[in-house]
Amino acid sequence: MASTTDVPSDRRTASTIGTQLRDLVVGGAQIVGVLLAAPVLRRWYNRWGATPEELTRHLPGDELVLDPKLGYTRVVTIDAPPSDVWPWLVQLGQGRGGFYSFDVLENLIGCRIHSTDRILPEHQHLERGDLVRSGPERYPCWEVLEVEPPHHLVLMGADPDTLRAPPVVAMIPRRATWPRPGSGYSSRSQPGPPPASSSANVSPTAATRPSSGTSSSPSTS
């Protein structure tokens, strides 16, 4: 099999330009569509893929805000166990694995995102208090509040100046089933006929529902 170095540089450049143009057109169209449809489809979009049971399930981070004004729970099914999905999630962020999204659009506003297509061993560890950045200094970022591999990861928006999340509003039992504050990933086994599956929910970012099987794809959100 030919390696990357065997491919002429002009072909590699053409392929890169083609990918960037595709991301620009497809990603731009999706953003425009969401903006235009948001007033009508917001309720449906904010519950993308989630079952009624998943909407009412308690998730890590639900207790952080007493009375949230807006939130969303989105779910995507991935044919892989949580242990295979987690390495792609824990390396999210600028200067890390990227966001597996439309890098061209993100870089138009200076985010300097370069999404990877492989697991990065040097970015497989997060601790409470670490930062996940969306761009260089002064860009939005999130502080890690809870991390329990491969079950859940809870992030909260941090002040770009202090690089810390605001004080927790309330550590109380959850009062409402929706919406949810914060941002996070969680997974758990759910009953059903073989093969046993797992579910994962992210609030408010896209969620994943890993199942049995194998997968090396970074398709999480």
Helix (H) or strand (E) holding 108: helix 103-108
Q: Compute, in degrees rounded to 10, the torsion defined by CA atoms 79, 84, 90, 96.
A: -90
The answer to whether residues 161 and 61 belong to one domain is: yes
The CA-atom distances, in angstroms, between 101 and each of 19, 20, 34, 51, 94 are 12, 11, 15, 25, 12
In a domain, 77, yes or no: yes
pLDDT of 108 reads 81
Q: Which of 10, 25, 45 is the last residue of a domain?
A: 45
The answer to whether residues 61 and 152 belong to one domain is: yes
Residues 203, 184 contacting (CB under 8 angstroms) = yes
Residues 6+ apart with CB under 8 A from 217: 78, 80
In a domain, 217, yes or no: no
The answer to whether residues 72 and 130 belong to one domain is: yes
In a domain, 103, yes or no: yes
Q: Is residue 95 classed as helix, strand or coil in its secondary structure?
A: coil
Residues 89, 98 contacting (CB under 8 angstroms) = no
In a domain, 98, yes or no: yes
The answer to whether residues 37 and 62 belong to one domain is: no
Domain hosting residue 41, numbered range: 1-45
Averaged pLDDT, groups of 10, the chain, 221 residues long: 50 59 65 68 84 89 80 87 95 95 81 93 96 93 94 92 79 39 57 38 40 36 36
The answer to whether residues 118 and 13 belong to one domain is: no
The answer to whether residues 178 and 191 belong to one domain is: yes
C-alpha–C-alpha distance, residues 60 and 146, integer Å: 8
pLDDT of 197 reads 34
The answer to whether residues 109 and 10 belong to one domain is: no
The answer to whether residues 114 and 126 belong to one domain is: yes
The structural domain count of the chain equals: 2
Alpha helix stretches (DSSP H) within 46-81: 52-56
The answer to whether residues 195 and 97 belong to one domain is: yes
In a domain, 215, yes or no: no
pLDDT of 221 reads 36
The answer to whether residues 17 and 56 belong to one domain is: no
The answer to whether residues 105 and 191 belong to one domain is: yes
In a domain, 168, yes or no: yes
In a domain, 157, yes or no: yes
